[in-house]
């Protein structure tokens, strides 16, 4: 993802279905069908893209579970991918679909995703599944911190991709030991 963003490309569709793992263990991000090469959008220029750009070309895009600014029709920026990566990290660590999903009550079915987009826009998410995941405490603590920041409804309040990459959640054991010394 960082390489995409360094090339000023917004993937715009980061989700588990678009993540591949090579036989070498290397992570690959696939399906750039909704990807956009940004011009000056992150700098506030008039040449901005939004999801309506795709509608103009006859592309019907599923809007459920998209970042808040996308749901509100705002311009795409690199913060869209940071938000989506936050969701992906949460899903990977917990096995849960989304931090915005309602918890299903025992014996009763809920209509999945009925109000999910409203919760996304409001920034109403829960990271409680991290607490019950079978993860080391230091991973839970670091994950809560970085995912919380990545899922902020205001794109300007989210960390950059570089800040996410440099977060202690992704440090090697050696780097953690060095930081403590």
Catalytic residue list: 13
Give the chain's largest Cα–Cα span.
Answer: 57
DSSP string, 27-74: EEE---TT-EE-SSGGGT-S----HHHHHTTT-----TT--HHHHTTP
Judge whether 70 and 62 are in contact, CB under 8 Å.
Answer: no
Q: Which residue has the tokens 């990290």?
A: 89
Residue ranges of alpha helices (H) inside the chain are 2-6, 51-55, 68-71, 79-94, 116-122, 128-132, 137-150, 161-165, 173-180
The Cα 86–Cα 84 span in angstroms is: 5
């Amino acid at each position: 993802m960082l390489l995409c963003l360094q090339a000023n490309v917004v993937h715009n569709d980061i989700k588990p279905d678009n993540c591949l793992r090579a036989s070498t263990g290397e992570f690959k991000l696939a399906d750039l069908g909704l990807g956009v090469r940004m011009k000056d959008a992150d700098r506030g220029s008039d040449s901005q893209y939004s999801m309506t750009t795709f509608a103009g070309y006859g592309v019907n895009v599923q809007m459920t579970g998209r970042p808040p600014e996308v749901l509100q029709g705002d311009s795409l920026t690199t913060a869209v991918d940071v938000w989506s990566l936050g969701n992906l990290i949460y899903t990977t660590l917990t096995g849960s679909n989304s931090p915005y999903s309602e918890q299903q009550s025992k014996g009763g079915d809920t209509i999945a995703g009925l109000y999910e987009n409203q919760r996304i826009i409001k920034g109403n998410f829960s990271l409680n599944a991290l607490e019950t995941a079978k993860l080391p405490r230091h991973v839970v603590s670091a994950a809560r911190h970085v995912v919380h920041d990545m899922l902020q409804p205001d794109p300007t309040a989210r960390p950059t991709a570089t800040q996410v990459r440099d977060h202690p959640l992704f440090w090697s054991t050696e780097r953690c030991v060095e930081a403590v010394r």
